[in-house]
Structure 1
């Protein structure tokens, strides 16, 4: 993997000689321009973009627009391209608003689609997940008639958001649409992002070997296409997957490759994923105090106000636990307040409420409910989780944990049907009935039917009680039951 990444860094200087370049330039739709010099600059801008030189692409695009007549058919698409580049280049993410005619944004077309996508990401990364998701869906609707690169742009952003929210079924289907769009529209320079998105989905599903295979495929395709699109995402996923498998050296190598791409724009979620991996490496190698110092130093990279806590709900727990092991109560409280704010602002995302509950339990020194979603031995470095699961002393000023007796696991765990097992597993991940229904292709009414039966079998009356029992027993599949015989 290291050798492939090294070659990728040299691709930026290569001539536009890939067949994917030619198809991408054709798909860009600048052939109607009468000014040959403008077409040449725009082609150079597009090649610079897929090579990762966003600043160079922006300079070329602005030079073209300075001399271009707004009546040209290609003008809206060029404006949209400049808006996208301005939103990711430089310290001011709102720079794209300058020089954009409001009338252009009011009518259907590429500028409006890019405007909606940029605003959806702004909402998303400022912690308003539901609003960001809805605006992204609206952008996708607006882009359907244009197709091409702007439809692809909206698809990719939406797929990433659905992945963060653990809506794997919908995200997988969207990745399939992205793949079709890439090939149908000749946008092969964007082909690496397909496998990069799949690597993220595999990582979230705990399929670490598959995540690594998809990451490697991303790098190979990127080298073949002469593109950097999706490479940073794949490298950050590979680093976390290697960590989960205990391969620290490989994780460090992936992070080194990622940092070798200094100066290029890196999305906030990729930066956060890489930062968590780097902190985990330091904490595992040097202990909790060093880990806490890294958390403080890299806090601005962790994107705690956005969906990074939804992508991996063990992260808030992990931050709190590391801080407490280091004796840094202020840092632990900072992490706790971050997940409390995000969960409070996004009550529609039940997974965040689960993460908040876990973080609060660790902060108070109550480890009883920690296995609700993931075993902390998998979620935390070795120095944090011990086999004895000793409770940390609560920080001074913390409220004492509620003395509630944990639900006793049944002596003989009840048998669940195949469908009940699927429903129970998804509910234990914090999904709502509607989300479970979308994931399994059922109606919410049917999901509720299965859930009532599960409650009766486990003798519980709430989702929280069910989750705690499942953490101890795990759903058990009844033998001899056929899924197609169950109600839909």
Structure 2
């Protein structure tokens, strides 16, 4: 293969093998990827180092991953491509997570700054804003930008990045109360499953079991929630409102604005075909009694 064929074919094969939990295949492809590190084109070298770093991180060695990315990190704040080809903005949170695990805080902060600058300069591409919010939430360990990322990803055809944002938001919400986390983790599991990302789906299943969440029944359509019409954010809101909390109380619990709570509630009522909180409470009792 030529060098740019490596940068597309091997990129695809490595990413698919990692998400489908086939580390044997990923390691085999990594042997081919190594030749990319000696390519005269920095773009190709950076793709190769990024792929090898992903494999190292999957093997629970983020320190080695960061070493492999030494040259790539030097191109992070340039205007051109940096981590991968095509330079996928949704990889910004992946890199930040990897850097944080390796204790490379400065690198993580640089990646977040680059992601945020790109989002500001290119407002016509919502995926940039979503990835930037996700990366910021990871760097600061802050629920608010993580929930913002979840909202920004809604409607975008990027199943795995959207699921990742939901997973990280659910992980953070679990520290407050399990009932807040489960809707986000449920939806992340649905999206990972839909994408065929079994490695990621298995991780979310383990998290749900650790939280004591009830085992869910699969359906022929692949939806395994009792609120298939709603987003995870809408489910979190309606569960609190159905318990009798006001919009302001729900906003405080979920660390979002009362306006956002009202918006989620309106959308949920419309999707569910109801008009009152009394109807919502009855519907929740019926649906979640059989969960």
TM-score of the two chains, using structure 1 as the length reference: 0.34
**Residue from 279, 284, 299 that aligns with 2:170:** 279
Residues 292 and 122 of structure 1: CA distance in aligned 2, closer, same or farther (over 3 Å): same
Is the CA contact (8 Å cut-off) linking 2:95 and 2:108 kept in structure 1?
no
Q: Distance in 1 between matches of 2:128 and 2:20?
A: 23
**1:265 and 1:157 mapped to 2: Cα distance?**
23
Mapped pair 1:117 → 2:11? yes
Match of 2:207 in 1: 318
Name which of structure 1's ranges 197-206 and 158-167 shifts more when overlaid on structure 2. Answer: 197-206
| 1:133 aligned residue | 27
- Partners in 1 of 2:49 and 2:35 — Cα distance? 10
1:330-349 correspondence to structure 2 within 5 Å = 330-331=215-216
Q: Offset at 1:170?
A: 1.8
Query: Alpha carbons of 1:305 and 1:213: their partners in 2 closer, same or farther (altered >3 Å)?
Result: same
- CA displacement 1:187-207 (0-9 Å, x = unmatched): 632358798665323432467
Which of 190, 198, 206 is the aligned partner of 2:81?
Answer: 190
| Structure 2 counterpart of 1:301 | 191
Q: 1:158 aligns with which of 52, 60, 78?
A: 52
8 Å CA contact retained: 1:179, 1:191: yes
Provide the C-alpha distance between the structure 2 equivalents of 1:136 and 1:267, rounded to a whole number of angstroms. 25
- The alpha-carbon deviation at position 124 of structure 1 amounts to 1.5
- 1: CA distance, partners of 2:78 / 2:159: 21
Q: What pairs up with 1:396-411 in 2 under 5 angstroms?
A: none
From the superposition, tell whether residues 260 and 275 of structure 1 become closer, same or farther in structure 2 (CA, over 3 Å): closer
Higher Cα Rg, which structure: 1
- 1:340-419 matches, cutoff 5 A: none
Listed as ranges, the matches of 1:59-78 within 5 Å are none
5+ residue gaps, structure 2, are 84-88, 218-291
Alignment of structure 1 residues 35-184 onto 2, 5 Å: 107-142=1-36, 144-145=38-39, 147-180=41-74, 182=75
Alignment partner of 1:219 out of 103, 111, 115: 115
* Counterpart contact for 1:195–1:217, Cα < 8 Å: no
- The alpha-carbon deviation at position 161 of structure 1 amounts to 3.1
CA distance, structure 2, for counterparts of residue 212 and residue 120 of structure 1: 23
| Kept after mapping to 2: 8 A contact 1:110/1:146 | no
What is the match of residue 248 of structure 2?
A: none
For 2:164 and 2:107, the matched residues in 1 are separated by 14
Partner of 1:239: 137
Decide whether the 8 Å contact of 1:275 with 1:298 is kept in 2.
yes
Deviation at 1:131, TM superposition (A): 1.4
- In structure 2, relative to structure 1, the CA distance for the partners of 1:120 and 1:203 (3 Å cut) is same
1:173-223 Cα shifts (integer Å, max 9, x gaps)? 22212135x48xx9632358798665323432467x768734542335536
SS in structure 1 at match of 2:198: coil
Superposition deviation, residue 135 in structure 1: 0.7
How far apart, in 1, do the equivalents of 2:79 and 2:139 lie?
A: 27
Q: Report the Cα distance in structure 2 between the residues aligned to 1:197 and 1:294, rounded to whole angstroms.
A: 19
Give the CA RMSD over aligned residues.
4.3
**Pair 1:175–1:198, CA change in 2 (3 A):** same
- Distance in 2 separating the partners of 1:267 and 1:146: 34
Aligned residues: 206
Q: Are residues 134 and 154 of structure 1, via their aligned partners in 2, closer, same or farther at CA, if it must alter by over 3 Å?
A: same
- Aligned position for 1:288: 178
- CA distance in structure 2 between the partners assigned to 1:147 and 1:171 by the alignment: 21
Moved more, 118-127 or 258-267: 258-267
User: Could you give the per-residue CA deviations for residues 374-427 of structure 1, whole angstroms, max 9, x where no partner exists?
Assistant: xxxxxxxxxxxxxxxxxxxxxxxxxxxxxxxxxxxxxxxxxxxxxxxxxxxxxx
Corresponding position of 1:21: none
Shift of 1:237: 4.0
Number of the residue aligned with 1:252: 144
Superposed, which structure 2 residues align to 1:444-459 within 5 Å?
none
Aligned-partner Cα distance in 1 for 2:179–2:63: 40
The Cα shift of 1:265 comes to 5.8
Partner of 2:100: 203
**Partners in 2 of 1:179 and 1:211 — Cα distance?**
7
